[in-house]
DNA sequence: CGCAACGTTTAGAAACTCCTGAACGTTGGG
DNA sequence: CCCAACGTTCAGGAGTTTCTAAACGTTGCG
């Protein structure tokens, strides 16, 4: 049988791993940890004080992080009758959204390469930019298809 | 007709834009700028002192950055007869490599979600993890296909 | 061989990001 | 309305990253 201590340790490890994923995606440390905590919450979400307690951070940090998470529509505020506190829950269907945003960068990069190619004189430089451009063009088209399939999948 | 000053300004803007792309991919500021400078070089590459002059940085910075760029096989050293300086050139075919590395993270994230799902008790949490897992599974498979097509494309 | 030209390493400083405590503003119950 | 409970803002500071100068090591020409 598993001790309460071991259970707690496993939970912490999981929270860390999840938070690292979010950090990799580009979120600040604490913001990532908050999102992870919301993922692992027992119920539908957590209140500010619950987050403060679980992660051992200040309420100012929660406020700042939520500015980002709510602003990017990854998390939603909601109220619980009888409580004055703000509660937060993850929004559904955001993981696809997160990845989709990543892909959007591809077409920007293709654009940069394209512009540079038009400006540059040296044939050697132009050749290097062309390779970059071709690769990103390829992935840009592929990602469009992938996202289309993803959206179709979600409609079902 | 275009003044030398305007030409210089355009070149700088281009270098900045390219560097930002590399930074987005996760490289340090100076490292990214060096890579951008190598991309825009007139000839096949640049020497240490040329990089120092073009970017206005110390040779120590060049040394450090090259440790990273050469180590990750994005840049190659070469020697120019008659010069004692080390020269550096971009390696070809790295952009696909860079993107490929990004995708590799997908299967790690899927794994994290899978592990967490097995550990967690709360049905609400498990449901949230399941969505995360499903999304990343989908993209993991799609990326494998995309990379396969990419590699086939390159063999021609 | 010895010297000069380079590259590398390292310790320290500068810059940046992010967190916190405290003060402030806002809101809702009584 | 007033007070208490919350959330937000902001100045300050801690931690981290990354750049540089200086000292050191290495290499190759004469």
| Percent of the residues in chain B that have a pLDDT greater than 90, as a whole number | 79
| Per-chain mean pLDDT for chain B | 93
User: What confidence score (pLDDT) does residue B98 get?
Assistant: 83
Closest nucleotide C1' to the C-alpha of B26 = D17
B88: tokens are: 């550096």
Same domain, A49 and A17: yes
Q: Which of A61, A57, A93, A55 is nearest to A74 (CA)?
A: A93
Same domain, A10 and A38: yes
Q: State the pLDDT confidence band at B65, using cuts at 50, 70 and 90.
A: very high
User: What confidence score (pLDDT) does residue B1 get?
Assistant: 67
User: What confidence score (pLDDT) does residue B8 get?
Assistant: 85
Closest nucleotide C1' to the C-alpha of B49 = C6
Q: How far apart are CA B21 and CA B27, in angstroms?
A: 9
B136 to A10: CB separation less than 8 angstroms, yes or no: no
B129: tokens are: 């993890």
The distance (Å) linking the CA of B59 with the C1' of D23 is 14
B132 to A17: CB separation less than 8 angstroms, yes or no: no
- Cα angle: B86, vertex B88, B94; to 5 degrees: 155
Domain that holds residue A119: 95-155
Mean pLDDT (whole number) for B59-85 = 94
Same domain, A30 and A62: yes
Greater pLDDT, B97 or A128: A128
Chain B CA closest to residue A113: B18
Same domain, B73 and B118: no
Ranges of H-type helices in chain A: 4-24, 29-40, 48-55, 59-71, 94-119, 123-155
Same domain, A26 and A85: yes
Q: State the pLDDT confidence band at B77, using cuts at 50, 70 and 90.
A: very high
> Considering B92, B114, B132, which residue would you say is the last residue of a domain?
B92
The distance (Å) linking the CA of B131 with the C1' of D3 is 45
**Angstrom distances, CA of residue A29 to CA of A39, A69, A74:** 16, 13, 16
Same domain, A67 and A87: yes
Interface test with B, best of A11, A40, A103 (most B CBs within 10 A): A40
**Cβ count within 10 A of residue B125:** 21
CB B142 within 8 A of CB A146: yes
Interface of A with B in 80-139 (CB under 8 A): 90, 92-93, 95-96, 99, 102, 105, 109, 112, 115-116, 119-120, 122, 124-125, 128-129, 131-132, 135-136, 138-139
CB B95 within 8 A of CB B53: no
pLDDT (tens digit per residue) in A71-109: 999 999 999 999 999 999 999 999 998 888 888 889 999
Closest nucleotide C1' to the C-alpha of B62 = C7
Same domain, A13 and A66: yes
pLDDT (tens digit per residue) in B96-153: 988 888 888 899 999 999 999 999 999 999 999 999 999 999 999 999 999 999 999 9
Return phi, psi of residue B77, to 5°: -80, 150
Greater pLDDT, A2 or B68: B68
Q: Which of B150, B142, B139 is nearest to B109 (CA)?
A: B139
| Percent of the residues in chain A that have a pLDDT greater than 90, as a whole number | 81
B36 touches chain A (CB under 8 A): no
User: What confidence score (pLDDT) does residue A14 get?
Assistant: 94
Same domain, B76 and B105: no
User: What confidence score (pLDDT) does residue B139 get?
Assistant: 96
């Amino acid at each position: 049988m598993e001790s309460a201590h071991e259970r707690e340790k496993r939970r912490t490890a999981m929270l860390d791993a999840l938070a690292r994923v979010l950090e990799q995606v580009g979120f600040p440390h604490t913001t990532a940890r908050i999102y992870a905590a919301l993922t692992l919450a027992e119920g539908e979400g957590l209140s500010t004080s619950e987050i403060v307690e679980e992660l051992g951070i200040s309420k100012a940090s929660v406020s700042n992080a939520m500015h980002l998470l709510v602003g990017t529509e990854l998390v939603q505020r909601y109220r619980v009758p009888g409580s004055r506190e703000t509660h937060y829950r993850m929004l559904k269907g955001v993981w696809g959204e997160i990845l989709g945003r990543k892909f959007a960068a591809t077409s920007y990069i293709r654009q940069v390469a394209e512009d540079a190619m038009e400006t540059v004189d040296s044939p050697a430089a132009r050749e290097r930019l062309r390779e970059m451009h071709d690769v990103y063009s390829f992935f840009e088209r592929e990602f469009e298809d992938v996202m289309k399939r993803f959206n179709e999948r979600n409609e079902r």
